[in-house]
């Protein structure tokens, strides 16, 4: 499972011109589910996202996690995170999980984060989405449950 984490001042996602998810200060999380991902991958990504100390404290140092900062999350499914462009110019998505299994794991990840008492908004799985955000910093981190990077 791969994720791109962006610290944001605000973010929203629209499907067919209608806002389906929006947050104020917090994290915008793009998630790509890969073939073979399991509960262990969900635990890893959820734990990292919840525990990342990337919000400023009173001195402006990155010492606070999402709970400490009273932030929210917008979680967007993005299968293109599994794209492989090492050969040629057209991405291969062979590593991406099949849609129904990917939906199941994506929803489990969202629920794993929600049960921690965090406000979590989402996009619409498999929909064409427009995502708008105001990055804060910018702070952007890459996560990979298989620790390939």
Would residue 79 show up in a list of annotated catalytic residues for this protein?
yes
- The one catalytic residue among 18, 55, 70, 80: 80
Q: Which domains does the chain have, with CATH numbers?
A: 2-144 (3.50.80.10)
- Per-residue pLDDT of 42-100, as tens digits, reads 999 999 999 999 999 999 999 999 999 999 999 999 999 999 999 999 999 999 999 99
Question: Using an 8 Å Cβ cutoff, are 50 and 65 in contact?
Answer: yes
Model-level pTM? 0.96
**pLDDT above 90 for 144:** yes
| Phi, psi (rounded to 5 degrees) for 101 | -70, -40
Would residue 78 show up in a list of annotated catalytic residues for this protein?
yes
Separation between Cα atoms, residue 100 and residue 142, nearest integer Å:
24
Q: How confident is the model at residue 10 (pLDDT cuts 50, 70, 90)?
A: very high
- Per-residue pLDDT of 125-141, as tens digits, reads 999 999 999 999 999 99
- The one catalytic residue among 55, 78, 116, 149: 78
Q: How confident is the model at residue 34 (pLDDT cuts 50, 70, 90)?
A: very high
Separation between Cα atoms, residue 145 and residue 44, nearest integer Å:
6
Q: How would you label 111-127 residue by residue, b for 16+ Cβ within 10 Å and e otherwise?
A: ebbeeeebebbbbbeee
Separation between Cα atoms, residue 48 and residue 42, nearest integer Å:
10
pLDDT at residue 148, as a whole number:
86
Would residue 80 show up in a list of annotated catalytic residues for this protein?
yes
pLDDT at residue 18, as a whole number:
98
pLDDT at residue 25, as a whole number:
98
- The one catalytic residue among 18, 55, 70, 79: 79
Characterize the bridge pairing of strands 62-64 and 120-122: unpaired
pLDDT at residue 149, as a whole number:
79
Q: How confident is the model at residue 11 (pLDDT cuts 50, 70, 90)?
A: very high
pLDDT at residue 37, as a whole number:
98
Separation between Cα atoms, residue 98 and residue 108, nearest integer Å:
15
- Cβ-based neighbours of 112, under 8 Å, separated by 6 or more: 42, 43, 46
> For the chain, what's the residue count?
149
Q: How would you label 56-77 residue by residue, b for 16+ Cβ within 10 Å and e otherwise?
A: eeeeeeeebbbeebebbbbbbb
């Amino acid at each position: 499972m791969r994720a791109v984490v962006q610290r944001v001042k605000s973010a929203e996602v629209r499907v067919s011109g209608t806002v389906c998810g929006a947050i104020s200060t917090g994290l915008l999380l793009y998630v790509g589910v890969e073939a073979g991902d399991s509960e262990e991958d969900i635990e890893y990504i959820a734990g990292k996202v919840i525990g990342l100390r990337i919000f400023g404290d009173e001195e402006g140092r990155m010492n606070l996690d999402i709970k400490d900062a009273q932030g929210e999350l917008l979680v967007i499914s993005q299968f293109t995170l599994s794209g492989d462009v090492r050969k040629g110019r057209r991405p291969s998505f062979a590593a991406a999980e099949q849609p129904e299994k990917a939906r199941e794991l994506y929803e489990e990840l969202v629920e794993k984060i929600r049960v921690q008492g965090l406000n979590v908004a989402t996009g619409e799985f498999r929909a064409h989405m427009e995502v708008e955000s105001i990055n804060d910093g910018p702070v952007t981190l890459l996560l990979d449950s298989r620790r390939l990077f």
